[in-house]
Structure 1
């Protein structure tokens, strides 16, 4: 690998970490509501109950898991995405189909770290402030002790993989999603503003990516949460239990502003690093 490619990967790792932290800080309250709504009642009812019984900061329950892991998760995602783009084409301006392929590769790689981070976040969010609620380290310890690595720490891996690949690329009816939605929107703004795209435009582009991401993957996200929250591991093959869970769920809503902050923070950080390192 050339020194130029190495520096580009390092920049993407750093920018991805910053984007990931922005995602957690902005999106955690909505993510908590989403997770609880997927396994209980309506989002507004969940919000009212959470605020009344546990207070505002309960909306940030489960934040420690993604905050600890987000640097690795988003660094891996954006670094894999950048490396995949360079692997697919030596030219910087890829077509949307090539971006779809790079996004699929990045989504698959991202599952390695995002699956356990998501699993522990979901289990923390499902605790409603009872005296028996567990700290994150206790949840990790119990899952490892009772179920081991595959059925405990990595529970929900196959559902997460099935969610991430189409969400970051484009399969079947989802032709412009997540990274593609972001790139499409960003390129539209670039035609007007050139290289100096304003922050609000980056946020809007990220939000477009977020809308498309959740349109594509929300049903599987519901399945993932239900699988990861069960007292025991799912039975049968991944396809069997995914289909079984899909039959039992009703799609509620998604999370959009967090995606806007992720991509905007990533682009701003990468722009600063480009000016500093020249790569």
Structure 2
């Protein structure tokens, strides 16, 4: 029963953390995604994306595609944090894992997280890939179109395997950096860390997340936006997309949009982990586990 209640606490706290992440990070995520997927020459860097988006679509253009992650992020983050907690318990019965064990648990959680993250990301990317034209589609129309034309696997779950490939190293790096920072702060402040220490630890984890996986995120966005699904095995289409990006934009193309991603990771990851940890601590007091 204690194990079940811990998982419930992690699910609920993950939902709160996920909502905080979307509300704080969506504008910079829109800039990041458009830097990855916009036709060549459309924008001249992240600041130009910001200016054109505000000019052509208004402030809420930066929140385009938010409905998908806001609706889905509760499930995504709930699954992520619950899978991470379960993975830690599978790896070791002891609460204090080594950083290598933390990385393994994070990788396992990332693989599980991709099940829900893939369709949420696909809808978000396709909404962000619209630039304020009169024929821009609403989320409902995009979902109906993808389902009607391509079905579940090639439509709704498009980019699933590259999402798996992204999430495994991303969350291994994410949780390792977060735990490392958190433990450093704990040596000075004890187990009850101040909120700013949780924010700082979350920011460190967020930066590590993107540095661990960014080229695969570029591939994922391109695959999910394309009019037709990828062909071949996942390894083949991921390798093909990486070669195509390098041929089009050089090695730097693999990191297009990285700067807004890193900027986004600081407040988004910080708010996610702070909200998660504070909610979980509250639930632990209420439930006793």
Q: TM-score, normalised by structure 2?
A: 0.92
CA offsets, 1:25-57, max 9 Å, x none?
000000000000001232111111001111111
- 1:173 maps to none
Q: What root-mean-square deviation, in Å, do the aligned CA atoms of Structure 1 and Structure 2 show?
A: 0.9
- 2:250 maps to none
Aligned residues: 270
The secondary structure found in structure 1 opposite 2:158 is coil
The secondary structure found in structure 1 opposite 2:244 is coil
Instruction: List structure 1 runs of 4+ shifted beyond 3 angstroms.
Output: none
- Which protein has the bigger helix share? 2
Counterpart selection for 2:96 from 93, 114, 137: 93
- 1:53 maps to 56
Q: How does 1:3-18 map to 2 (within 5 A)?
A: 3-18=1-16
- 1:261 maps to 271
Cα distance in 1 for residues equivalent to 2:196 and 2:63: 25
Cα distance in 1 for residues equivalent to 2:240 and 2:222: 11
Cα distance in 1 for residues equivalent to 2:198 and 2:187: 13
Give the drift of 1:6. 0.8
Q: Can you give the 5+ residue segments of structure 2 that lack an aligned partner in the other structure?
A: 246-252
Give the drift of 1:180. 0.8
Cα distance in 2 for residues equivalent to 1:68 and 1:168: 21
The secondary structure found in structure 2 opposite 1:273 is helix
Q: How does 1:57-136 map to 2 (within 5 A)?
A: 57-136=60-139
Counterpart selection for 2:224 from 207, 216, 228: 228
Cα distance in 1 for residues equivalent to 2:232 and 2:186: 48
- 1:198 maps to 194
Counterpart selection for 1:277 from 275, 282, 287: 287
Give the drift of 1:110. 0.3
- 1:246 maps to 242
Q: TM-score, normalised by structure 1?
A: 0.95
Counterpart selection for 1:161 from 149, 153, 164: 164
